[in-house]
Amino acid sequence: MSHKNYFKEQLQYIDTNFQELKSLYLSSTPLKERDNNFFNSYIHELESFLENEVIGPISKVFIGTKVTVMFDGDDDTEDYYICLQKQSDPVAGCISFLSPVGRQLLLRNVDDNVLLNTPAGSLPVTIKSITFAENLILQR
């Protein structure tokens, strides 16, 4: 499946499951971090990407992408696969877009500097690449 088809199906999935996803977002996001326009912003960015992107690299972190981050101060990198909550498998690097790290990476761009707030502390990282994670499929 091409990334464009995947993202089109993802928009349908979000539309069909909007209330459930919104409820999951509200229950998993601390009050001070909640964005009332979270899904509307995400949908807008994904639709803009689909309208404007012909061929080439994926410009933003979306659900279904692999994000490679480099930890500031060294050359160590780590890959995160941003996925739906049902697909989450932190040991394999698959993190839900609703997880603390997933929420902080979502809609970021290549070369963005991000201070990831984790239970272990704050980690400054730079997004090095964003690619389509072909191994992630929409699970209904």
Q: Tell me, what's the pLDDT at 140?
A: 33
Residue tagged 């809609």 (tokens): 107
Residue 76 has pLDDT above 80, yes or no: yes
| Residues contacting 126, CB < 8 A, separation 6+ | 69, 70, 72, 111, 112, 113, 114
Residue 136 has pLDDT above 70, yes or no: no
Which domain CATH number covers 13?
3.10.50.30
How far is CA 65 from its chain centroid?
Answer: 7
Mean pLDDT of 114-123: 88
Which residues constitute the domain of residue 28?
3-132
Flag whether 39 is in a domain.
yes
Count: domains in the chain: 1
98: alpha, beta or left? (left if phi > 0; alpha if psi -120 to 50): alpha
Alpha helices in the chain (DSSP H): 3-16, 18-28, 38-52, 100-105
Predicted TM-score (pTM) of the model is 0.88
- Averaged pLDDT of the chain: 88
Residue 42: pLDDT band (50, 70, 90) is very high
